[in-house]
């Protein structure tokens, strides 16, 4: 059996169906073919050169594709169908909370009153938009237990940066600027990056054998030159930091603040509040927890919640409610300034507001419970096929390693690529860094048991193939448009320009 035929016998949605080859648009068409024809001229023809200055005219276009409208529509529609998206398939990317983006969010964001509203419109004509922002701030305050929320940052990383600048401003005002920020070795890469950008030296706190922050190490590292501890709770292994109260106490006792990376809020929203656990600042990822689109489908939004004592430093304008209505308050003397143009990515606020309102208090909690149930179902179903580096159950995501497969010469990368042939987007790989050969899976609450079972079958079939036919896995994927690429070269020297 050749590779292609063998691959077609694999379980999963990609194993069947039509695979179109699509040439580049420059390779198609035929000279003189057009997409549109205009009526014959009823005025004398004039040479363009007599009307426009020479430097406004372009030279001849070589290799310009000449196609009909249908050719163009088919070309781009087919290309768009090659996109992998949450609307087409399961997306188990750990740490990213790739949940379904409900269409009602999109309907609300497209209401002309929101989508056509100009950011320079005066306050009195902006009451509806300001009310929506004020309400969303309130919902996030309620969910997190923080006192005040700003919606301005454009993503999680910018939220972290904003939080670090707030912490910096507060320490400066105490008259004792500090130099260091502590963070666990399981931290997301944006954590050290933003702390460093805010002017801090980053000091790692090791995790213990259970994947939790090592309390003794934290105690010995925490000192009066440390501005903050930046932790993620639940952490990037999907586990709740059981000692969070003790951890906050240790940091506060030395005059430091606690920053919580709230990217994993999907595991605990509606169940417990980070603000009750000693957290002073945190960010939210609306494009993760609150179902607004990610990445290319974005933009995202990374609101920041703070305790009252940090409110004087928030970015302006601060959106407030007064007797006269909702207002944009720029009179905020200690502000760190603006972090994003206007008010942030407003369209995302409409989507997140709709999501929270349509779920309601109970629905928000049930979403978190469903996320944890789905992750634990995958964890329990695959524990004999893939090595689990930590034994305790997790919340909304689970982390495996390639320890069982490596005996056969099969690595995490091979497992990820083999999943593509089985019709699944690979999970997050090689993160968190503290797990060697990590495979991090976050199913979210959106997925049905049938989808999870298909994914589990595909993972089991990869594990079997790793034992029986490891060489084939090294070549995967073979069914995709682009097969195995040299990852380093593809990232460093991408071919972005078409050359005839
Ligand atoms: C996604 C993520 C971030 C960064 O958020 P962006 O919105 O992608 O900038 C930070 N920390 C963790 C744990 C994350 O999962």
Dump the DSSP string for 400-463.
EESHHHHTTT--HHHHHHHHHHTT----EES-STTSTTEEEE---TT--HHHHHHHHHHHHHHH
Among 11-20, 107-116, 150-159, 389-398, whose mean pLDDT is lowest?
11-20
pLDDT at 11: 66
- The alpha-helical segments, DSSP class H, found in 48-174 are 69-82, 103-109, 112-115, 127-144, 156-173
- Residue whose Cα lies nearest atom 8 of ligand 1: it is 156
DSSP-assigned beta bridge partners for residue 305: 149, 282
Strands annotated E in 206-310: 226-232, 257-261, 281-283, 304-306
pLDDT at 78: 86
Query: Is the distance from the beta carbon of residue 262 to the nearest atom of ligand 1 less than 6 Å?
Result: no
- Asked if the model's pLDDT at residue 14 lies above 80, the reply is no
pLDDT at 153: 97
What percentage of the chain has pLDDT greater than the value 70?
Answer: 94
Q: CB under 8 Å to 10, separation ≥6 — which residues? A: 421, 422, 458, 461
Query: Is the distance from the beta carbon of residue 94 to the nearest atom of ligand 1 less than 6 Å?
Result: no
Return phi, psi of residue 320, to 5°: -130, 165
What percentage of the chain has pLDDT greater than the value 90?
Answer: 82
Mean pLDDT value across residues 341-358: 96
Mean pLDDT value across residues 226-239: 96
pLDDT at 18: 53
* CA–centroid distance, residue 234 to ligand 1 (Å): 13
pLDDT at 84: 83
pLDDT at 24: 87
- Asked if the model's pLDDT at residue 499 lies above 80, the reply is no
pLDDT at 12: 63
CB-CB neighbours of 273 under 10 Å: 16
pLDDT at 175: 94
Distance of CA 337 to the CA centre of its chain: 26
Model confidence at 225, in pLDDT bands (50, 70, 90)? very high
Query: Is the distance from the beta carbon of residue 188 to the nearest atom of ligand 1 less than 6 Å?
Result: yes
The whole-angstrom separation of Cα 455 and Cα 399 is 15
Query: Is the distance from the beta carbon of residue 258 to the nearest atom of ligand 1 less than 6 Å?
Result: no
Instruction: List pLDDT tens digits, range 157-180.
Output: 999 999 999 999 999 999 989 999
- Asked if the model's pLDDT at residue 358 lies above 80, the reply is yes
pLDDT at 62: 84
| Three-class secondary structure of residue 284 per DSSP | coil
Distance of CA 338 to the CA centre of its chain: 23
Instruction: List pLDDT tens digits, range 441-496.
Output: 999 999 999 999 999 999 999 999 999 999 999 999 998 878 888 888 888 988 77
Mean pLDDT value across residues 147-161: 97
For residues 36 and 269, which has the higher predicted lDDT (pLDDT)?
269
Mean pLDDT value across residues 189-209: 96
pLDDT at 180: 98
Mean pLDDT value across residues 199-209: 96
- Asked if the model's pLDDT at residue 8 lies above 80, the reply is no
Instruction: List pLDDT tens digits, range 31-49.
Output: 999 888 889 999 999 999 9
Distance of CA 331 to the CA centre of its chain: 33
- Asked if the model's pLDDT at residue 2 lies above 60, the reply is no
pLDDT at 36: 84
pLDDT at 6: 57
Model confidence at 59, in pLDDT bands (50, 70, 90)? confident
Q: What is the 3-state secondary structure (H, E, C) of 219-240?
A: HHHCCCCEEEEEEECCCCCCCC
- Asked if the model's pLDDT at residue 147 lies above 70, the reply is yes
Residue indicated by tokens 């609300």: 108
Atom from ligand 1 closest to the CA of residue 159: 9
Q: Given ligand 1 and candidates 197, 234, 261, which is best to mutate, with the most ligand atoms within 8 Å of its CB? A: 261
Mean pLDDT value across residues 202-218: 96
Question: Domains of the chain, with CATH numbers?
Answer: 28-80 (no CATH), 104-358 (3.40.640.10)
- Asked if the model's pLDDT at residue 384 lies above 60, the reply is yes
Query: Is the distance from the beta carbon of residue 285 to the nearest atom of ligand 1 less than 6 Å?
Result: yes
| Three-class secondary structure of residue 326 per DSSP | strand
What average pLDDT is seen over the chain? 93
* CA–centroid distance, residue 233 to ligand 1 (Å): 12
**Which uninterrupted H or E stretch holds 205?**
strand 201-205
Mean pLDDT value across residues 132-151: 98
* CA–centroid distance, residue 156 to ligand 1 (Å): 5
Q: Given ligand 1 and candidates 97, 153, 155, 156, which is best to mutate, with the most ligand atoms within 8 Å of its CB? A: 156
Query: Is the distance from the beta carbon of residue 317 to the nearest atom of ligand 1 less than 6 Å?
Result: no
pLDDT at 299: 85
pLDDT at 500: 54
pLDDT at 19: 58
The whole-angstrom separation of Cα 136 and Cα 326 is 13
């Amino acid at each position: 059996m050749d590779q292609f035929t063998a691959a077609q016998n694999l379980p999963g949605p990609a194993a069947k169906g039509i695979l179109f080859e699509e040439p580049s648009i420059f390779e198609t068409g035929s000279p003189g073919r057009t997409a549109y024809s205009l009526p014959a001229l009823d005025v004398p023809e004039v040479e363009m050169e007599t009307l426009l200055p020479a430097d406004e005219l372009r030279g001849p276009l070589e290799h310009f594709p000449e196609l009909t409208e249908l050719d163009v529509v088919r070309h781009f529609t087919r290309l768009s169908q090659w996109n992998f998206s949450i609307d087409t398939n399961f997306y188990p990317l750990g740490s990213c909370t790739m949940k379904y983006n409900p269409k009602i969010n999109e309907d609300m964001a497209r209401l002309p009153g929101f989508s056509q509203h100009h950011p320079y419109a005066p306050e009195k004509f902006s009451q509806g938009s300001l009310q929506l922002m004020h309400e969303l701030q309130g919902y996030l305050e309620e969910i997190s237990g923080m006192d005040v929320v700003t919606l301005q940052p454009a993503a999680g990383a910018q939220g972290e940066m904003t939080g670090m600048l707030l912490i910096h401003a507060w320490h400066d005002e105490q008259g004792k600027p500090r130099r260091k920020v502590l963070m666990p070795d399981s931290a997301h890469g944006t954590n050290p990056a933003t702390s460093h950008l805010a002017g801090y030296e980053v000091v790692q706190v090791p995790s213990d054998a259970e994947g939790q922050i090592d309390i003794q190490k934290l105690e010995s590292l925490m000192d009066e030159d440390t501005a903050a501890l930046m932790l993620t709770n639940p952490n990037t292994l999907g586990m709740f930091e059981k000692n969070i109260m003790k951890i906050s106490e240790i940091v506060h006792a030395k005059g430091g603040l606690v920053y919580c990376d709230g990217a994993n809020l999907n595991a605990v929203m509606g169940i417990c509040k980070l603000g009750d656990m000693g957290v002073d600042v945190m960010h939210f990822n609306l494009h993760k927890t609150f179902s607004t689109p990610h990445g290319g489908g974005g933009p995202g939004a990374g609101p920041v919640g703070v305790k009252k004592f940090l409110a004087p430093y928030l970015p302006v304008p601060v959106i407030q409610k007064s007797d006269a209505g909702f207002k944009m308050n720029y009179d905020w003397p200690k502000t760190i300034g603006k972090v994003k143009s206007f008010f942030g990515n407003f369209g995302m606020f409409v989507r997140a507001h709709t999501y929270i309102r349509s779920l309601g208090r109970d629905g928000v909690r049930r979403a978190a419970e469903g996320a944890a149930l789905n992750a634990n179902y995958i964890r329990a179903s695959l524990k004999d096929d893939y090595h689990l580096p930590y034994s305790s159950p997790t919340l909304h995501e689970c982390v495996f390693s390639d320890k069982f497969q490596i005996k056969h010469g099969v690595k995490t990368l091979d497992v990820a690529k083999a999943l593509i042939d089985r019709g699944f987007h690979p999970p997050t790989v090689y993160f968190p860094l503290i797990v060697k050969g990590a495979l991090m899976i976050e199913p979210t609450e959106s997925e049905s048991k049938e989808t999870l079972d298909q994914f589990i079958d595909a993972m089991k079939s990869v594990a079997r193939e790793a034992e029986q036919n490891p060489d084939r896995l090294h070549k995967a994927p073979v069914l995709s448009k682009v097969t195995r690429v040299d990852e380093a070269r593809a990232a460093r020297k991408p071919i972005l320009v078409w050359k005839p």
